[in-house]
Amino acid sequence: MALSSGRTRRSVTEDLGVGLSMLTRWIGRGKDRKPDPSRGSEQADLAAELERLRRENEILRQEREILKRAAAFFAREGSR
């Protein structure tokens, strides 16, 4: 939260109800930890899923646009 939110550490400590030195220690310990190899594959899986969903979303948008145009076309044709 302190590293990714863009807020000051002091404001984060006020929200969490801890002291500034405690937050600083937590951040230091987090940097000292070695990355978990299983998290790497999890991140890759999430990135792949996000990409798949974005492609699917774009296809659905295109399909919706086609259906809108078809409905408008047939509405005009039916009124003649």
What pLDDT does 60 receive? 95
Average pLDDT, the chain: 85
DSSP state at residue 19? -
Same domain membership, residue 27 and residue 4: yes
Q: Which domain holds residue 78?
A: 38-80
What pLDDT does 74 receive? 92
DSSP state at residue 33? S
Count of domains in the chain? 2
What pLDDT does 35 receive? 60
Q: 51: which 2 tokens? A: 């990409």
57-70: pLDDT as tens digits: 999 999 999 999 99
Same domain membership, residue 45 and residue 79: yes
Same domain membership, residue 53 and residue 19: no
What pLDDT does 10 receive? 83
For the chain, residues with pLDDT lower than 70 are 32, 34-39
Q: 7: which 2 tokens? A: 């807020």
Same domain membership, residue 46 and residue 25: no
Same domain membership, residue 76 and residue 43: yes
What pLDDT does 48 receive? 93
